[in-house]
Amino acid sequence: MKIEAFRMDDIAYFLKLATAENWVAEAWEPEFLLSEFPQGCFAARDDNGETAGFVTSLRHDQSGWIGNLIVSVEYRGQGIGEGLFSAAFEALRLDGAETFWLTASKSGQRLYKKFGFSSIDTIIRWVGTGRQRHGVHDHNSNRNTCNSSVRGIDCQAWGDRRDALLETTVGRGKLLIEEFGFLVVQPCGDAQQFGPFTALDSGTAERLFDAVFCTIPSGTKVCLDAPASNRAALRLFNQRRMRIAGTNDLMYAGKNPDYRPEYIYGLATMGSCG
DSSP SS3 for 3: strand
Q: How far is CA 46 from CA 52, 69, 187, 231, in A?
A: 7, 17, 35, 47
DSSP structural state of residue 9: G
H/E stretch holding 168 reads helix 163-172
> Which amino acid appears at position 64 of this protein?
G
- Give the Cα separation of 171 and 160 in Å (integer): 20
CATH number of the domain bearing residue 221: 3.40.630.90
| DSSP sequence for 113-151 | HHTT-EEEEEEEEEEEEB---SPPPGGGB-TT---HHHH
Number of H helices, E strands in the chain: 8, 12
- Overall average pLDDT of the 128-154 stretch: 71
Whether 171 maps to a domain, the answer reads: yes
How many domains does one find in the chain?
2
Whether 141 maps to a domain, the answer reads: yes
Per-residue three-class SS string for 21-87: CCCCCCCHHHHHHHHHCHHHCEEEECCCCCEEEEEEEEECCCEEEEEEEEECHHHCCCCHHHHHHHH
Q: For residues 89 and 66, is the Cβ–Cβ distance under 8 A?
A: yes
Whether 148 maps to a domain, the answer reads: yes
Whether 118 maps to a domain, the answer reads: no
Whether 59 and 131 share a structural domain: no
Whether 85 and 128 share a structural domain: no
Whether 185 and 53 share a structural domain: no
Q: Is the pLDDT of residue 15 over 80?
A: yes
CATH number of the domain bearing residue 46: 3.40.630.30
Higher pLDDT, 40 or 108: 40
pLDDT at 70: 96
Whether 117 maps to a domain, the answer reads: no
Q: For residues 223 and 193, is the Cβ–Cβ distance under 8 A?
A: yes
- Give the Cα separation of 78 and 92 in Å (integer): 24
Q: For residues 112 and 224, is the Cβ–Cβ distance under 8 A?
A: no
pTM over 0.85: yes
Whether 209 and 93 share a structural domain: no
pLDDT at 133: 62
Q: For residues 123 and 266, is the Cβ–Cβ distance under 8 A?
A: no
pLDDT at 183: 97
State which residues form the domain around 138. Answer: 124-266
Whether 78 and 139 share a structural domain: no
Whether 154 and 211 share a structural domain: yes
Whether 131 and 261 share a structural domain: yes
Whether 111 maps to a domain, the answer reads: no
Whether 85 and 133 share a structural domain: no
User: What does the pLDDT look like over 234-253, one tens digit per residue?
Assistant: 999 999 999 999 999 999 99
Whether 155 and 244 share a structural domain: yes
Whether 92 and 136 share a structural domain: no
Whether 151 and 221 share a structural domain: yes
Q: Is the pLDDT of residue 161 over 70?
A: yes
User: What does the pLDDT look like over 75-127, one tens digit per residue?
Assistant: 999 999 999 999 999 999 999 999 999 999 888 899 999 999 999 999 999 99
Whether 272 maps to a domain, the answer reads: no
Whether 115 maps to a domain, the answer reads: no
Domain finish residue from 97, 113, 148: 97
Nearest to 224 by CA among 261, 196, 258: 196
Whether 44 and 158 share a structural domain: no
